[in-house]
Amino acid sequence: MGCVAHLTRALTALENPVAKKKSSSTSAAPVATAPPPQGGAMALPEFLSLLSRKVPSANLSKALAMLKAERFELFAQAEGDYIVGVVKSQTNPDLVYACKLTSSGAYSCCTQNLFRCGGLQGGLCKHLLVLVVGLTKAGKLDGARVDGWVAASRMHRPLLDKDAMTAIFLRYKGAEAGEIDWRPTETIPEDYYAL
């Protein structure tokens, strides 16, 4: 496939995240667009308690350790039926992960080289959890709503949609270069020390 055609497909996938590939065994019927998940009405400890029952405990522990260790700039887009974002690696400054979680529970995380995250064994990885926890703490996501998405993720295996992931990385690179307006949500380690 030519470069232009691949980029066009990638951007289309980001603009229309509900469209699923028919070949996917985890595809779901399109979900009606609802208001974006915002508000953060649930307290973070309550949200983490709910998460701890639905995700691998090691992954949640790693995500909280990451949030306690350093600041993150979470480039994210939350809509009524999905969230996408980028989380930088703690160990390699040149490595970033694109993450996606949908209201139907479909999820994905991969590097900029489109290699699946190794932490996706058994459920959401630490990068997805950093994104979800960080945005919930910041009041950008409604914890109760996202908890339902996380619960639904237990019925799925990770899906690597290369077009959608490429679109996330292209948008991130555009934001880094100042070509597009995509402002990050910053996490502060002190917010997580008591957890």
* pLDDT the model gives residue 195: 83
- Does 188 or 37 have the greater pLDDT score? 188
Give pLDDT tens digits for 78-124. 999 999 999 999 889 899 999 999 999 999 999 999 999 999 988 99
Query: Domain for residue 75, yes or no?
Result: yes
Number of domains in the chain: 1
Query: Domain for residue 24, yes or no?
Result: no
Query: Domain for residue 26, yes or no?
Result: no
Distance CA 74, CA 156 (A): 25
DSSP strands (E only) in 32-171: 72-78, 82-88, 96-102, 107-111
Query: Domain for residue 19, yes or no?
Result: no
Query: Domain for residue 167, yes or no?
Result: yes
Where do we find the tokens 């008591």?
A: 194
Query: Domain for residue 154, yes or no?
Result: yes
Distance CA 131, CA 135 (A): 6
For residue 9, the enclosing domain spans 3-14+35-192
- Does 15 or 194 have the greater pLDDT score? 194
Query: Domain for residue 28, yes or no?
Result: no
Instruction: Check whether 31 has a pLDDT greater than 50.
Output: no
Per-residue pLDDT band for 6 (boundaries 50, 70, 90) equals very low
Query: Domain for residue 183, yes or no?
Result: yes
**4: its two tokens:** 């232009």
Distance CA 38, CA 143 (A): 9
Buried b (16+ CB within 10 A) or exposed e, 86-114: bbbeeeeeeebbbbbbbbbbbbbbbbbee
